Structure 1
Amino acid sequence: MPAAAPLSRPILAGVVTALVGFTSSFAVVLTGLDAVGADAAQAASGLLAATLTMGLACVVLAWRYRMPITVAWSTPGAALLVATGTVEGGWSAAVGAFLVTAALILLTALWPALGALIARIPPSIAQAMLAGVLLPLCLAPITGIVANPWGVIPVVLTWLVCARLAPRWAVPLAFVAAAAVVAVSLAQERAPFDPGLLVPRLELTAPVFTVGALVGLALPLFIVTMASQNVPGIAIMRSFGYEVPWRPAMLVTGVGTALGATAGGHAINLAAISAALAASPDADPDPKRRWVAGVSTGVTYLVLGGFSAAFAALVVLAPVAVIPAVAGLALFAAFGSSVQQAIDDPGERLPAVVTFLVAASGISVLGVSAAFWALVAGLLVRTVLHTSR
C-alpha cells in the first residue's frame, strides 16, 4: 500500500483555499457595503463579521460531517449590493435586508418547497440577472485605466501575466500590486496614518425594514446567493464524490448570515469555485482525509478576520480607481460564466438578453432596484414567448 500523504498537505490546501477566497474578493465585499450606505467603520465591521461567520461555518460543517465543506461570503451578492446602491432607509434598511435574506435561507432548510420554487427559476434568467449586475463592476478596470493610468495599469498587467502563468493566484497578486500602488502613493503624499484603523471591531446597527429594501435587495440577494453559490457548490462537491447534507448546510449558513447581519455581514453560503481547492485530490489523495482541509480553511478565515480592518484601511487609503479595478478583475471569470450560461440555449436567449439589459441598466422603479425588475421582465418575456398558441 502506498504511504499516506502527510497531514500537512490538506492543512496547506485549506490555507490556500482561504487565502485565495479572501484576497480574490474582499474588495468586492467592501465596495458593495459602501454602495448600500455603510461608512468606513461599518464596512470594515461587515468584512470582519462575514469572515468570522464563514470561518466558523467551515469548521462546524467540515468537522461534523467529515467532508471538505467550505463556506464563503456571497461574492455575487456583494456585486448585487454595488448594482443596487442606497436603498430606502439607508444602511439600516440594508441591514434589515441582510436579516431577511438569512431568514429566507433558513426557511429553505425548513421548508423544501421554497428551495423547489427557486430551482424553478430558469438558470438562463438567473445567470442573465447576475451578468447584468456584474457588468458595471467588470468595466471598472477599463474606466480606471483612463481615470488613473499610473495606478491601475500595474494592477491590470500583474493580473494578465499571472492569469497566464499562475491563474489561481492572478487576482490575489493583482491585489498585492494594488497594495504596492497604495504604499507608493502614501509615501509620496506623506499622509498621516491612524494606527487605530488596524484594530478590528464590530459595529452593530439596528435593522430597519422597508418595502424597497426587502423587494429590491433581500429577495435578489437570496436568489443570487442560492442560484450562483449554494446550488453550484453542491454540484461541485458532488463531482468529487461528496453529498453535502442540504438542510444542515442551509441551517448553518442561514444562522451565520443572521449572526453577522447586524454587524454588516451581507450573506454567507457554500463555496462554489474555491470549493474545489479543498475537495479535489490535490488536497489529499485520500478522500476521507480531505475534511481536514475544510477545517483548515475555517481556521485560516478566523485568523484573516484579525486582519480585516487592515484590508479595509487599505481600501480607504487607495488612490482613485485602484480598488474598483481589483474588484472588477476578480469578477471577470464569474461574468464570463454567467453570460455563457445565460445565452447557451437559443430558445432562452431573448428572455435572457432582456433580463441582462434591465439588470445592467441600473434603473430603480418605486424604490425597487433593477435586479428585481430584471427578473420580472425576463420571466414575463419568457412566459409570452413560451405560451402555447
Structure 2
Amino acid sequence: MRKVLIVQSEMKHYRLAFFEGLYKALQRDGIVLTVAYSNSNTLQAERKDRIDLQPPIGKRVKGRWFFGRFIYQDVWEDVLASDLVIVGSEVKFLINPAIMTMSALGLKKVAFWGLGPNRHPDRSPMTEWFKQHFFTWVDWWFAYTESIADYLKSRGMSPDRVTNVQNATDTAELKQLISNISEEEVEEAKIALTGQSSSRIGLYCGFIGAIKELPFLLEAARSAKKKCPEFHLIIVGDGPDRVQLQREIEHEPWIHYVGFKNHEQGAIYYKMADVFLLGGTVGLAVVDCFAAGLPLIATVLNTHPPEISYVKHGHNGLLVAHDVQAFTDSILNVLFDPSLMERLRRGAHESGNQYTMEAMVENYRVGVHKCLAMRKSASSSFARESLTRTAND
C-alpha cells in the first residue's frame, strides 16, 4: 500500500475531523495516511485549541522549538517510509531544506500545504521574502483557497501541480444543532440573555486576541447601540485578552461575553444572531458563520488570511473600510433593511453549502492521487529547474 505522511507542527482541534475523513477516504483507495505532529510553542499554547489525534492516523513525535519560532521534528523514519511527504511551507519547519533537497534530487515526492504568503501583522518581511523564493521547490501544492492557487501559479508553479483544497472546518454538526433549535427556544434564550425577544443580535465568535481588534468592534457596537436601542452584542471565545475584555465591558450589560463554547453549547447563539461581526482578521470563523446562514460584516485589511476570499460583498456579507463609522453604518444598514438582510442570509446559506469539510476532503484526496500518479522524473526535473531559477533571482 502506498503511504502518505502529513507533517504538522501541532494538532489543532478544528483539524481533527478533516484528518479522520481524509484517512478513511484514502484508506478506501488503498493509501495509508499518517499525520505526524508535536507540541505547541508557548504562544500557541495560549489558544488552548490543541488536541491529540489518535493512532493509527495520528503519530505524536518529538519536537524541539528554538526561540519559540522554529521547530525540529524527529520524523525521518516516517519520511523515508512514505511515498509522498506533505508539510507546511513555513520557515519554522527546520526539516524543510532537507526534504526539498530530496525532492530536487528525485528521491522523494514532496508537497507543500498551506496559505502561501502569511499576512499576519507580526510576520517578518524578511522571513516572507525568503520563504517565497522556495514556494516552487516542491512537486505539488495543496493551496488553502483559489486565491492562493492563483498566487502560486503567478510565482511559477505549474497549474497542473496545484490543488485548491478549499480550506474549511467541520460544519455538519453545527448545522444540525442549529436546525434542531426551535423558534420557541430561540425566543426563550433571547429573553433570558437580553430581557426581550425583539433584541437584534450581533455575534462575534473566535479568538480573544489583538489580531481580532475587539476594541474596534466594541467602539462600533456602541455607536450602533445609540441608533438601535434593541441592539445587543454577544462575544464567544477565549484568548489572552479575555480579562481585559471582561474589565472593559463590565458596566455594559448589553454586551454579553459568554466565554468559550463548543458547537453544542454555541449553536443557540448562532441561531439567535442577526449578523456576524468581525473588525479584525477573518479566518476560518467565516465557514461557521456561513454554515449558520449568518451575513458577515468585516473590514478590508491587508492582513486577512486567504479565507477572506470566501466573502462576496453584497452576496453573503459586506466588506467595508476599516473605519468605525463605516463599520457602524454597515451594521445598521443590515439591521434596518429586511431585503438586504434576506439577500445576505440567502447568500450565506449558499456559501455554507459550498465550503464544507466533505468538499475539502474530496479535493485533497484527488490532489493526493494526482501527485502520486505523477512521473517522478518529471517532478524532479521541475524541482531542479525551480532551484536553478531561484538561485538566479
TM-score (norm 1): 0.24
Structure index of larger Rg? 2
Looking at secondary structure, tell me which structure has more helix per residue.
1
Looking at secondary structure, tell me which structure has more strand per residue.
2
